[in-house]
A and B are shown apart, each in its own frame.
Chain A
Amino acid sequence: MSAFEEETLGKAYDRQLIRRLLPFIRPYLPRVLLAVLALLAASILQLLGPKLTQVGIDQYIQNNDLPGLKIIIFYYMLVLFGLFISRFAQMYLMEWIGQHIMFDLRRAVFGHLQHLPLSFFNRNPVGRLMTRVTTDVEALNEMFTSGLVAFFGDILTLSGIIFILFYMHWQLALVTISVIPLLFIVSLLFKQKVRNAFRQIRTRIARINAFLQENISGMAVVQLFNREKKNFDRFEKLNRDHLDAFIRTIFYFAVFYPTVSFIGAFATALIIFYGGLKIMAGTLTFGGLVAFIQYAFMFFRPISDLSEKYNIMQSAMASSERIFKLLDEKTEMDVIRPRIRIQGRVRGEIEFRNVWFAYNDEDWVLKDISFQIAPGEKIAIVGATGSGKTTLINLLAGFYPVQKGEIRLDGHNIRDYSLFDLRRQMAIVLQDVFLFAGSIAENIRLGNEAIDDERLRRAAADVNALPFIERLPEGFDTPVKERGASLSVGQRQLLAFARALAFDPAILILDEATSNVDTETEILIQQALERLMRNRTSIIIAHRLSTIQNVDRIIVLHKGEIREIGTHAELLSLNGIYHRLYQLQFARQEREKKLAG
């Protein structure tokens, strides 16, 4: 919910932002035009009502011509139908356009997020990014559907009324619009006052929400230290400040609306006074005066509406500024310029050449890492927490660019390949198996149409996942709920293996789960892994005894450096870091295995 943290105090109108919004509006221009036409029709029809009334009174009622009046009534009916249709069309069209623009914006933001580098996600908490996709887009929606449309409508109505007033009686029209400068001054004063008040409200509500969020997160501490009363008092104070600021804006609105109404009445008084004189002079009819008064009434509502749109525009601009800032973030593709296409399957020869890496500045997590892996070779990486194991596979998958040195795949720097090509050659199984809401089958297939039911089944069978999947109520079609909370750790691991096997990549990258599983599952996982590693280069962050015993070579990482490389037996005999790591991480498993077996 970090939307509250970054309070942008936007302007109600920002030309640069509007220009960036334009491409999103462009595809719907024909419909916008249609909506404007409907709006125009509605406005004209709306103005026709009083006109018909006038004609009805002047030409028919006063002349006792009832059949003539019926014709007018018939026209009136037509106008009402037309109004009904055009109003509906205009409202629905604008909503349609607004919703589609939102759809496009949301798609653009979400799509852009997919291609941002991991470092971006490390910097930005999930909550903040969610706000971009949801709340910020919604704020723009309000501008498109209620703000912008009504704005057009109001402008059109206003121009229409002014036109009719002048057409009817230009002197009287001049008298009526003589109050406009007055309105202008009042609106300007109001806008100035309200802008500051709204700004104050926004900062104060941001403070309330920040305090609230902090207190919810730290509620245990508040309670443990008996701070309820004190913190409540503080909250109340912030709440009170917010209330006071709001009461101020209510005051401005409470003054503004009646003032506009009063100016309207002033215009009416002028019309009656001046119109009366004109009737005396015989240049104006009664009906003309009545219609004139009706039009004058219509004139003032849009003016108060326009001021209310101000706040909507202001927050919409603030939101679009945040959205475009996100859209301006450089994607992974912007950084990497692929020069070589990968055709088919790579051999899987991997080389790290003097690789250095730091997440920030000179805080090196990996220092001068160099090693080679032959195609089809199986490598385990072991090391204490914080030794740089995860970073190493993150670099290989191209999640982060290396700062110094290079990583080569089949003899080329991985930066020469596109990320799409690179990652398609790999199956990356992470420690925390991530399952999406969808069926078991969808979770294995991950949208790859090439994996048919046959291949899906075979993959599941090969990694020992088939028996438990078939025991599920709907087999492969069983929905995965709450990220697979109903599945055991072992089952989730097997599913991830099935996913990897179904994709059949040249390279397997695996970060083994640390959690303990029962012996039976352990054996299933071990068999599955052996089948999974067959015929592909495998790099595994090992947490299981069986894994380190089954690989070709073990790389020992310690404090960001490679300290030992060799087979299990070779490394043990060195009596160095590996020996100690072995005692820390694997010796217990060995003992348990002996006890079990």
Chain B
Amino acid sequence: MSDNGRTDTMSKLDQLRSLIPYLARYKKRFLIGGLFVFMTNAVGLIQPLLIRAAVDSLAGSVEFRILVAYALGILGVAALEGVFLFLMRQTLIVTSRYIEYDLRNDFFAHLQKMSLRFFLKYSTGELMARATNDLNAVRSLVGPGIMYSINTLILFIGTLIVMLSLNPHLTAFAMLPLPIMVIMVASLMKRIHDTFKNAQEEYGRMTTHAQENISGIRVVKAYVQEEMEKRRFEQFNLRYIAHNLRLAKIRGTLWSAMGFLTGVGAMIVLWIGGTLVVQNDLSLGELTAFFSLMARLTWPMVALGWVINLTQQGIASMGRLNEILNTPPDIADGPQTDFSISRIEGEIEFRNVSFAYNGRPVLKNISFTIPKGKTVAIVGHVGSGKSTLLNMIPRLLEPTAGEILIDGRPIQQIPLHVLRRHIGYVPQETFLFSDTLKENILFGADGAALEDMIEAAQISQLYQEIQRFPDQFDTLLGERGINLSGGQKQRAAISRAIVRKPAILLLDDALSSVDTYTEEAILKRLREVMKSRTSVIVSHRISTIRDADQILVLEHGEIIESGTHEQLLALDGVYADLYRKQIIEEELEEL
């Protein structure tokens, strides 16, 4: 990633702070959940007291009736604790799932606002990783992370209070190892964070290597590099597990030390407490209660190490999510938007438009005007900037210099959804969703009637083939359904665009997979419907564009020739050359 400067400067605290709005939404639930944690622990603390009382009573004369009462009491308290434990999970853990749900929705909604430029920067895989792994880590932070933190805190304070009420003197001794624990946790926390980060980075390097290898497998094989590649991978593999083992060493130390120090506390209680009992300053039952209280602390203390781990990971992942969520959409309605505009006519003007990506110029100083209802065709080699130019009309991309006017107004004045509502776009790479054919064709045409859909399918010469599908328009596409041929896909995409009856139709090499005969038929029908509409057509085939009102020839991001077919032929330049080549190609096709 080239610019994550913003998030780098965000501190760990800032990452956590960005969670506050999500937590605040469930303030009540957290409060109630906290209460349940408190109740669970409060009731939980009664149990050792009861056991103490029971044991103490056994020291005297034991009555059968009292025994039964104690047994039932313990059972009742346990049942109550169980109920609160249930409620605690039902509130806190469920809330963390709500937050996960909210975060996922927000993430998706935010992606929907981002422009093409953003998706050029972040690959699908990268965004998916954030929506899955990172979201999970954050969920663990707000779920078990928060629950166990609250739990440990309340348990600790509660236990401390009960211990103090039993015997402050002994409590002070029992807590002796505590400062050491605090110091240890504090010092190891940063090391865990750093080592974890290093391990993640090493993992990233290993992954990148594997990815490079798989993408370049032909070269690897061509140069008989398989063994060498295995050795190289092994190095990454080795370094990665070395980091992990370092992490394991720190974690292992932390966890065993926590257990050790808690044990030391119990040992001190046995020693000092034993002495107190001998001196008759403490009852045997009280000592026993102390033991069960200490035993209750052991696990939460060890779990603290685990919670620290969760928190560190959650913070790192929240940072990665914030990197996306804090990227402002670069194309959106703004102060200059005139919301009174509800339709567009279709006149397009480019004024000195330039576009650069990563500092590399793609379009240079492009100017042209398309009057309403006219057709303009664009030709040029691969990489000459044709698609970029087309992408600017529906504002998928925005010029880095110059401006675009629609109906004589700067394009930014038109509300984005109005602009796009009146454009029918057929992209170069056909993208259909794994849904029914009908859903795909009516994708962007709310309120279109069935007749409109059928007409659109007829214009794009798809209707007859659809008639032959078993489920016709209800045929499912994609992995779970049928796979259309390249040409069928393109024609479905054309249907999808024209069913909107757009003021502007944009075809980006939209007939490349369609055979010449069908192309002819589609173009003929299109010309009828597009009579009063503006069209911009990008194509490699002269047959598609020769009848356009104006033809623009793009090369290295510049318009080098423009005019009608006849004018350009007379010019005998790049277009004429292209034309001649195409004639040869047609001849070749027949040989």
Contacts and interface: CB of A to CB of B under 8 A. Distances in A.
Q: Is B a genuine binding partner of A?
A: yes
Contacts of B288: 57, 290
Nearest to A425: B224
A558 B585 CA distance: 12
B18 interface: no
A130 B214 contact: yes
A272 B54 contact: yes
Interface residues of B, number: 135
A220 B425 CA distance: 10
Interface string A556-597: 001000010000000000001100110110001000000000
Given A232-B109, A258-B81, A430-B219, A107 B67 contact: no
B212 A437 contact: yes
A126 B215 contact: yes
B32 interface: no
Contact of B105 (A81, A85, A239, A420): A239
Given A66-B274, A250-B89, A254-B90, A107 B234 contact: yes
B51 interface: yes
A235 B75 contact: no
Given A5-B479, A110-B210, A226-B417, A84 B97 contact: no
**Central interface residue in A80, A81, A118, A259, by most chain B CB within 10 Å:** A80
B414 to A, nearest CB: 13
Nearest to A277: B67
B560 interface: no
Given A226-B444, A483-B212, A265 B433 contact: no
Contact of B108 (A110, A232, A251): A232
B9 interface: no
A77 B261 CA distance: 11
Given A64-B278, A265-B75, A280-B62, A92 B128 contact: no
B241 A273 contact: no
A499 B219 CA distance: 12
A479 to B, nearest CB: 13
Interface string B230-266: 1111100110010011001101110111011001101
**Central interface residue in A62, A92, A219, A280, by most chain B CB within 10 Å:** A219
B587 A250 contact: no
Contacts of A280: 62
B427 A221 contact: yes
Contacts of B131: 209, 212
B443 interface: yes
B223 interface: yes
A217 interface: yes
B267 interface: yes
A77 B230 CA distance: 50
A359 interface: no
A225 B81 CA distance: 55
B221 A423 contact: yes
Interface string B136-172: 0000000000000000000000000000000000000
Contacts of B79: 262, 265
Contact of A107 (B100, B119, B233): B233
B78 A261 contact: yes
A406 B380 CA distance: 42
A415 to B, nearest CB: 16
B72 A269 contact: yes
A478 interface: no
Interface string A255-291: 1011101101110111011001101100000100110
Contacts of A269: 70-72, 74-75, 78
A388 B234 CA distance: 37
A218 interface: yes
A91 B443 contact: no
Given A53-B270, A272-B67, A294-B292, A134 B54 contact: no
A103 interface: yes
**Central interface residue in B70, B112, B203, B232, by most chain A CB within 10 Å:** B112
Contacts of A224: 394, 396, 420, 423, 425, 427, 444
A226 B241 contact: no
B473 interface: no
Interface in B382-417: 391, 394, 396, 417
Contacts of A583: 580-581, 584
B82 interface: yes
B274 A57 contact: yes
B114 interface: yes
B233 A110 contact: yes
B22 interface: no
A257 B85 contact: yes
Contacts of B82: 258-259, 261-262
Nearest to A46: B259
Contacts of A251: 90
Contacts of A66: 274-275, 278
A72 interface: yes
A52 B271 CA distance: 12
Contact of A584 (B98, B216, B581): B581
B588 A581 contact: yes
B585 A84 contact: no
A428 interface: yes
A126 B479 CA distance: 18
Main secondary structure of the interface of A (DSSP, over half): helix
A227 B274 contact: no
Given A69-B271, A91-B248, A216-B128, A265 B55 contact: no
Interface in B51-103: 51, 54-55, 58-59, 62, 64, 67-68, 70-72, 74-75, 77-79, 81-83, 85-86, 88-90, 93-94, 97-98, 100-101
Interface in A2-47: 5
Nearest to A516: B381
Nearest to B114: A219
Given A110-B210, A583-B584, A254 B216 contact: no
A107 B237 contact: yes
Given A99-B241, A225-B443, A220 B116 contact: yes
A235 B212 contact: no
Contact of A91 (B129, B255, B433, B591): B255
A302 to B, nearest CB: 12
**Central interface residue in A114, A251, A261, by most chain B CB within 10 Å:** A114
Contacts of A121: 214, 217
**Central interface residue in B55, B207, B224, B241, by most chain A CB within 10 Å:** B224
Given A250-B93, A250-B94, A254-B89, A216 B127 contact: yes
Nearest to A301: B299
Contacts of B292: 293-294, 297
Contacts of B230: 107, 110-111, 114
Contact of A53 (B127, B224, B255, B291): B291
Interface string A86-98: 0110011001100
13 contacts: A62-B284, A64-B278, A66-B274, A91-B251, A91-B252, A126-B211, A215-B111, A257-B85, A258-B83, A272-B67, A399-B221, A424-B224, A434-B216
Shortest 7 CB-CB contacts between residues of A and residues of B? A225-B444, A265-B78, A258-B82, A447-B228, A428-B222, A95-B248, A254-B89
Interface of A: 1, 5, 49, 52-53, 56-57, 60-62, 64, 66, 69-70, 72-73, 76-77, 79-81, 83-85, 87-88, 91-92, 95-96, 99-100, 102-103, 106-107, 110-111, 113-115, 118, 121, 126-127, 129-130, 133-134, 208-210, 212-228, 231-232, 235-236, 239-240, 242-243, 246-247, 250-251, 253-255, 257-259, 261-262, 264-266, 268-270, 272-273, 276-277, 279-280, 286, 289-290, 293-294, 297, 301, 384, 397, 399, 419-420, 423-424, 426-428, 430, 434, 436-437, 446-447, 483, 499, 503, 558, 563, 576-577, 580-581, 583-584, 588
Given A99-B245, A103-B241, A110-B237, 18 more contacts: A66-B278, A79-B263, A87-B256, A92-B249, A110-B213, A214-B433, A215-B111, A216-B128, A217-B431, A223-B420, A224-B396, A232-B112, A258-B83, A272-B54, A276-B54, A290-B288, A384-B588, A583-B580
